[in-house]
Structure 1
């Protein structure tokens, strides 16, 4: 694992809670050395960090600490990361979660994303990569800097970039941080066909190593929430990508 750079610290210094306090990150892993390294890297960014070594400790810490993001190992001594995620999300449904998975555990990555995780990194990883991804996740939450014209409207679908509220035909739609960012990108480009590569670059800020099916997965999540029981707005353009259009 490589050391942090001063450039990373400078860019992260602007990231804080809306009340001006330091952002909070919960790190969950049963390897003390790894937890210590992650904690040092995250504190270097000026963030407040709390660590947990078991699933039970993680759930308790999430309730007490109220984290803005969670770095969560898939394999824990008592129960796995998916169960930790499920329990945490009952108290804080919108907290972004970055999973840590074994290098070859493809099923863990898919399971984590399907269960509502927002991103993952595989071990071994660089500290810069973890910090960059945690920062990207938190920028999708209400800590994001918003413009004065914060409401996007496409047909009967509205998205408020300040409050993170989404409505279709007056009915509120609840989205995860990643689902919100994906919908925001689509709504900022209505009637424009966006390729999987463009979506990966804009929403996830990095290359998934050819695993563009994560885009298909999250598009399906959005369709279930935005289009379910209504005239569809999200369309697949075979061989080209996806497009958001007002319902006819």
Structure 2
């Protein structure tokens, strides 16, 4: 399982930019557009690091940081802001942030700081965590390859991300909108049937009998589930 990042940022374009870069580096990312929403997400998911914007609607980043730190003392927090004043940095650290970055920033530096923070708080995953196994299917998040009975499968990047999402959420029904948001992004406005098309293609590659799947189950009225 990947390290889990909670991204609290009210600007959708910035959220997408950060999310895509973390996902490319094998992190699981969940998002919130406000401090209130972020706190609720932290309560419902096992978060390792919070990427927190300072300027938020409702409660601001300082207060959000304070509330997160009081309730989740072992979670890492990196604060983002467009302001570079030393007082903001000091206040962010005093409210419980572990690190601070000023926009605009290099996404590679943010990821490097996140990895460093994970090491400091003892949440960096071991090397073998790159391998996800489910029955006869093995997924290597480092090489981004999927194997069936140790034979590599020829998957497209979208098909790979779908399989990875399914295995990371094994037995959990995922609806089409959830899959679209994770794999195609929140700004995708095309036909939702693209999910069904890709599922059909994946079944042809991972299932012994695609018409009687044992990995990707159709959950009628909802979507799909990896079993």
TM-score normalised by the shorter chain: which range applies?
0.5 to 0.7
SS at match of 2:75: coil
Residues 106, 24 of structure 1: alpha-carbon distance in 2 compared, 3 angstrom cutoff: same
Match in the other structure for 2:91: 111
Q: Shift of the alpha carbon at 1:144?
A: 4.7
Match in the other structure for 1:23: 3
Match in the other structure for 2:65: 85
Deviations 1:184-242 (A, max 9, x none): xxxxxxxxxxxxxxxxxxxxxxxxxxxxxxxxxxxxxxxxxxxxxxxxxxxxxxxxxxx
User: Which one of the candidate residues 56, 60, 68 is aligned to 2:40?
Assistant: 60
SS at match of 1:76: coil
Match in the other structure for 1:99: 79
SS at match of 2:22: helix
Query: Which whole-Å CA distance do the structure 2 matches of 1:59 and 1:112 have between them?
Result: 17
Higher-Rg structure is 2
User: Which one of the candidate residues 120, 135, 140 is aligned to 2:115?
Assistant: 135
Are 2:103 and 1:123 equivalent residues in the alignment?
Answer: yes
Query: Which whole-Å CA distance do the structure 1 matches of 2:38 and 2:125 have between them?
Result: 29
Q: Shift of the alpha carbon at 1:82?
A: 1.5
SS at match of 1:58: helix
Query: Which whole-Å CA distance do the structure 1 matches of 2:8 and 2:28 have between them?
Result: 14
Runs of 5+ unmatched residues, structure 1: 1-20, 147-248
Residue 22 of structure 1 contacts residue 46 of structure 1 at CA under 8 Å; is this kept in 2? yes
Q: Shift of the alpha carbon at 1:89?
A: 2.1
Residue 74 of structure 1 contacts residue 108 of structure 1 at CA under 8 Å; is this kept in 2? no
Q: Shift of the alpha carbon at 1:107?
A: 1.7
Deviations 1:154-190 (A, max 9, x none): xxxxxxxxxxxxxxxxxxxxxxxxxxxxxxxxxxxxx
Query: Which whole-Å CA distance do the structure 2 matches of 1:79 and 1:103 have between them?
Result: 18
Query: Which whole-Å CA distance do the structure 2 matches of 1:130 and 1:121 have between them?
Result: 8
Q: Shift of the alpha carbon at 1:105?
A: 3.0
Residue 49 of structure 2 contacts residue 114 of structure 2 at CA under 8 Å; is this kept in 1? yes
Match in the other structure for 1:44: 24
Query: Which whole-Å CA distance do the structure 2 matches of 1:143 and 1:28 have between them?
Result: 20
Match in the other structure for 1:69: 49
Number of aligned positions between the proteins: 126
Residues 134, 104 of structure 1: alpha-carbon distance in 2 compared, 3 angstrom cutoff: same
Match in the other structure for 1:207: none
Residues 106, 39 of structure 1: alpha-carbon distance in 2 compared, 3 angstrom cutoff: same
SS at match of 1:98: strand
Query: Which whole-Å CA distance do the structure 2 matches of 1:120 and 1:140 have between them?
Result: 15
Q: Shift of the alpha carbon at 1:140?
A: 1.1
How large is the RMSD of aligned CA atoms in angstroms? 1.6
Query: Which whole-Å CA distance do the structure 2 matches of 1:104 and 1:145 have between them?
Result: 32
